[in-house]
Amino acid sequence: MQRAGWMGSILGLATLSMAAHASTEAKRETFGNMPDGTHVEAVVLDNGHGMTARILALGASLQSLTVPDRNGKGANIVLGYGSLDGYLKKPQYFGATVGRYANRIAKGHFTLDGHAYTVPVNDGVNSLHGGTRGFDKELWTIGDIKHDADKASVTLSYVSPDGDMGYPGKLTATVTYTLDSGNRLSIDYGATTDKTTIVNLSNHAYWNLSGEGAGSVMDQRLTIAGDAYLPVDAGSIPTGEVRKVDGTPFDFRQGKPIGRDIRTNDTQLLNGRGYDHNWVISRTEAAAPRVVARVEDPASGRVMTLKSAQPGLQFYSGNFLDGTTVGTGGHVYRQGDAFALEPQLYPDTPNQPSFGSARLEPGHAYRNLIVYEFTTAPSHGTR
């Protein structure tokens, strides 16, 4: 009787050994054209160890990420469109940079230094991911493209003018994607402003560790390093309560399949048609990125470990994928076919002082460094 897991581990080690002296690469290419004829470029990063990432200038988006499984076979594990047309006709934040304020602001209103601001509502009566034209819909400028023996990277930037989507201050935002030889993808967000404002940037990749379009992620095992979460109202706005996960479907501290408790008759799960909540990782930003989540796919053996210094982590279980989207590989995306994990400040922080502050002042810098580390686990079965 052959031990599939043991053989898979040996094959995986052999693959890594053969690639030990491979070099990284970063190359620029055209992805498509905007309606006005403007070229939309992409940059492909290759770590020389079987991992490649394609980053689009539109929305500074992660369009694809190829990662080897336990047998060394690569597959794209993020949802997206195969052409620019899909991103323009039916944007769904696939792999996008979301901002100025990731997540929701209640009723599109907040007050800063005594001044009331209104931002567009695009999620019922609330504002989501920056409003009707957030950073995901803007064409970012591709800057430095670098590669050396250990890593390949690209930096993109976008300048949001004062008053853009109702937000105060000219915000200069940057993001650097880095793919290294240790099978880590880092997404490093930064921002500065010329006037006091609020900012909360994150990445909205939809993940399926079996491969995009491979079906449900409900059997993939998720661990979240948070002992509390933020309950929400029917509009997905936090109520202000910080609730312990003990004894609830929201307890992922020991790890469990995403779908184990998703059909529980819990009001919070009914409100969002599944998980779409922010976990409290800490009450303040950490000094450096630490492990906030881990996902293991039993089928492929892929393991993703997520690190961030942000206080909150939004977990979304793909509740509104409805079978009307055809993705990169020609497969239809249905409910529960992917999950999102977004390190960020808590939702609606500008309206809830107990959540901390989203404030950014001139002379100060905002940062959100997100690190995804990929490894493999052996199969536990035999054949």
How many residues appear in the chain? 383
State yes or no: pLDDT of 13 exceeds 90: no
pLDDT mean over 112-117: 98
Residue 207's pLDDT is what?
98
pLDDT mean over 234-257: 97
Weakest mean pLDDT among 3-17, 43-57, 223-237:
3-17
Instruction: Write phi, then psi, for 270 (nearest 5 degrees).
Output: -65, -40
Rounded distance between C-alpha atoms, residue 46 and residue 328, angstroms? 19
Helix (H, G, I), strand (E, B) or coil at 274: coil
Instruction: Write phi, then psi, for 179 (nearest 5 degrees).
Output: -115, 120
Q: What is the pLDDT of residues 77-98, one digit of tens each?
A: 999 999 999 999 999 999 999 9
Confidence of residue 20 (pLDDT cuts 50, 70, 90): very low
Q: What is the pLDDT of residues 360-381, one digit of tens each?
A: 999 999 999 999 999 999 987 5
Amino acid at 317: S
State yes or no: pLDDT of 22 exceeds 80: no
- The correct CATH number of 4-216+298-376 out of 2.70.98.10, 2.40.290.10, 2.30.110.10, 3.40.390.10 is 2.70.98.10
Which of 332, 304, 334, 331 lies closest to 319, judged by CA?
334
Confidence of residue 286 (pLDDT cuts 50, 70, 90): very high
Residue 35 has, within 13 A of its CA and on its CB side, a CA count of: 4
End-to-end C-alpha distance for the chain, whole angstroms:
6
Rounded distance between C-alpha atoms, residue 43 and residue 25, angstroms? 10
Catalytic residue list: 204, 342
pLDDT averaged over the chain? 93
State yes or no: pLDDT of 383 exceeds 50: no
Rounded distance between C-alpha atoms, residue 371 and residue 380, angstroms? 27
Percent of the chain with pLDDT over 90: 92
Q: Do 253 and 224 meet the contact criterion of CB atoms below 8 Å apart?
A: yes
State yes or no: pLDDT of 1 exceeds 80: no
Rounded distance between C-alpha atoms, residue 76 and residue 20, angstroms? 22
Residue with tokens 């930064």: 190
Residue 381's pLDDT is what?
59
Rounded distance between C-alpha atoms, residue 137 and residue 66, angstroms? 24
Residue 5's pLDDT is what?
42
Residue 12's pLDDT is what?
44
- Cβ atoms < 10 Å from Cβ of 248: 15
Confidence of residue 272 (pLDDT cuts 50, 70, 90): confident
Instruction: Write phi, then psi, for 24 (nearest 5 degrees).
Output: -80, 165
Q: What is the pLDDT of residues 187-196, one digit of tens each?
A: 999 999 999 9
Confidence of residue 8 (pLDDT cuts 50, 70, 90): very low
Residue 271's pLDDT is what?
85
What is the domain partition of the chain in residue ranges? Answer: 4-216+298-376
Residue 220's pLDDT is what?
98
Q: What is the pLDDT of residues 144-199, one digit of tens each?
A: 999 999 999 999 999 999 999 999 999 999 999 999 999 999 999 999 999 999 99
Amino acid at 87: Y
Residue 44's pLDDT is what?
98
Residue 312's pLDDT is what?
98
State yes or no: pLDDT of 9 exceeds 50: no
